[in-house]
Amino acid sequence: MNKHLLSLIKATQYSISGLRCLIKERAFFQEIALFPAVLVILYVFDLSMKSYLVFSYVLILITEALNTCIECTVDRISTEPHELSKKAKDIGSAAVFIAILHFSIMFLLAIFGIL
C-alpha cells in the first residue's frame, strides 16, 4: 500500500478516535445535541445567512474540542491546583464563550434582519 495512503488512513483513524473521545465530553455532547434544533430554527425563520450561521455554530464545536484538549493536557501534567493551570483552563473556557457569544449575536442580527 502506498505510504501516503496509509498515512491518510491512520490520520483518519486518529480523527475518529478523537471524535469518540469528544462525544463523551458533556459540554461537547450538549452542543452536538443542540445542533439539530439550531438547524430547525434556521429553516423555520428562513434566514438569509443560513450557511454563515451553520459555520458559526461549527466554530463553537471546534473551539470546544480545542478547550477539551487544553483541559486534558493540563490534567495530564498535574491535577494539583496551580495558577497557570487555572489560567489555561479559564482561557480555553473563555474561547468557547466567545464562540457562543459570536453565534448568538449573529443569530439575533439575522432574526431581526440586520444582516
What residues act catalytically? 64
State the number of CA atoms in the 13 A half-sphere of 82 facing the CB: 9
Angle at 52 between CA 102 and CA 29, to 5 degrees: 65
**Ramachandran region of residue 113, left (φ > 0), alpha (ψ -120 to 50) or beta?**
left
